[in-house]
Amino acid sequence: MPELSRNGVRIDDSFAEAFDMRATALVITADTAAWARIAATSLTGFATSIIACGVEAGIDAELAENETPDGRPGVRVLMFAGSTSELQKQLQNRVGQCVLTSPGSACFAGLEGVEPLKLGDAIRYFADGWQISKRFDGRHFWRMPVMDGEFVCEATTGLTKSAVGGGNLLLMGRSVVAARRAAETAVVAMRGIADVIMPFPGGIVRSGSKVGSKYKGLMASTNDAYCPSLRGLTQSALEADIVSVLEIVIDGLTPEAVAAAMRAGLAAACALGPEAGAARIGAGNYGGKLGRHHFHLRELLP
């Protein structure tokens, strides 16, 4: 139950439980910012949860011409997975199908890591022997002929084993509109933090889950304790005034980045107050038994 408050918003004295993940980053450029975002949006599609998607991915930052290797507008994409092998598989498939195919695109390493992941090294064979290896300023690139010119792709990108997935906030409102406003406001604030993504649609998930299910073979199922329609039918965690609950899940390259994003989201949501936004804010955990990263709301409050 809530024990803290800010600006009239009840805050659970609880914590978000998060997990170690493997992660990488890409810089995708194109002739225009719009086409760079199109390529990145395609690459990050169906990448909300490793439960079913294999990878969690999203756009981390918009990049100006002076921030990219080829002097064109671009975006930075972060990708998270549970294992190095799955991350490599998803990287190869998504770059090959979504960036190589996008008009005017190029793809570069977005992270220096403990070991390399294959990027251009994995998809160069599409060029059917016409690929050209180039080294410049200590970096290795592949040039592959395509029908609008050539696709330039860096040979490798970095892997980090210090990434964290599953930081979260539960935003509970007295109306559907208020809960959504709180979640949208928090996501905007979180997007101002470097090295994090919120992988669900618009950064928000309504179908929060718990571990396990009554049905054999399902590893996760609806978080019934936070479903308002089940209040009175299950062991609910919701008071009578809560009508809608939305969750924000945060993945970051470091625990510090996840904490900073949660802090920014909390501050933004609390600033709205309980009438315009969340009446109560909590966090999801599994009793501290599954993930070693615990982000306590009490320590993140503004």
Mean pLDDT of 68-97: 98
Structure confidence at residue 2 as a pLDDT band (50, 70, 90): low
Q: What is the pLDDT of residues 21-53, one digit of tens each?
A: 999 999 999 999 999 999 999 999 999 999 999
Are 247 and 274 found together in one domain?
yes
Are 155 and 31 found together in one domain?
yes
Q: Which residues contact 46 (CB under 8 A, 6 or more apart)?
A: 53
Q: Quick check: 288 pLDDT over 90?
A: no
Please, is 37 exposed, middle or buried when counting C-beta atoms within 10 Å of its C-beta (0-12, 13-18, 19+)? middle
Q: What is the pLDDT of residues 120-140, one digit of tens each?
A: 999 999 999 999 999 999 999
The residue ranking higher by pLDDT, 185 or 211, is: 185
Are 25 and 102 found together in one domain?
yes
**Using only C-alpha atoms, what is the Rg of the chain?**
21
Are 133 and 171 found together in one domain?
no
100, 131, 160 - which closes a domain: 160
Q: Compute how many other C-beta atoms are within 10 angstroms of the C-beta atom of residue 62.
A: 14
160, 181, 199 - which closes a domain: 160
Structure confidence at residue 109 as a pLDDT band (50, 70, 90): very high
Are 170 and 54 found together in one domain?
no
Structure confidence at residue 107 as a pLDDT band (50, 70, 90): very high
Are 123 and 210 found together in one domain?
no
Residue 14, domain extent? 2-18+163-300
Closest CA to 73 of 34, 29, 40, 105: 29
Cα–Cα distance for residue pair 61/197, rounded to 1 Å: 9
Residue appearing with tokens 């409050």: 301
Count of domains forming the chain: 2
Q: What is the pLDDT of residues 186-203, one digit of tens each?
A: 999 999 999 999 999 999
Are 135 and 171 found together in one domain?
no
Cα–Cα distance for residue pair 54/35, rounded to 1 Å: 25
133, 160, 187 - which closes a domain: 160
Are 182 and 194 found together in one domain?
yes
Are 115 and 29 found together in one domain?
yes
Give the domain CATH number at 51. 3.30.70.520
Are 268 and 178 found together in one domain?
yes
β-strand pairing of 220-222 with 209-211: antiparallel
Are 74 and 139 found together in one domain?
yes
Residue ranges of alpha helices (H) inside the chain are: 33-43, 84-94, 120-123, 176-190, 255-276, 297-300
SS (H, E, C) 109-138: ECCCCCEEEECHHHHHHHHCCCCEEEEECC
Cα–Cα distance for residue pair 226/184, rounded to 1 Å: 19
Are 120 and 251 found together in one domain?
no
Whether the Cβ atoms of residue 18 and residue 166 lie closer than 8 Å to each other: yes
pTM recorded for the entire structure? 0.95
Closest CA to 267 of 207, 176, 182: 182
Structure confidence at residue 259 as a pLDDT band (50, 70, 90): very high
- What is the pLDDT of the chain when averaged over all its residues? 96
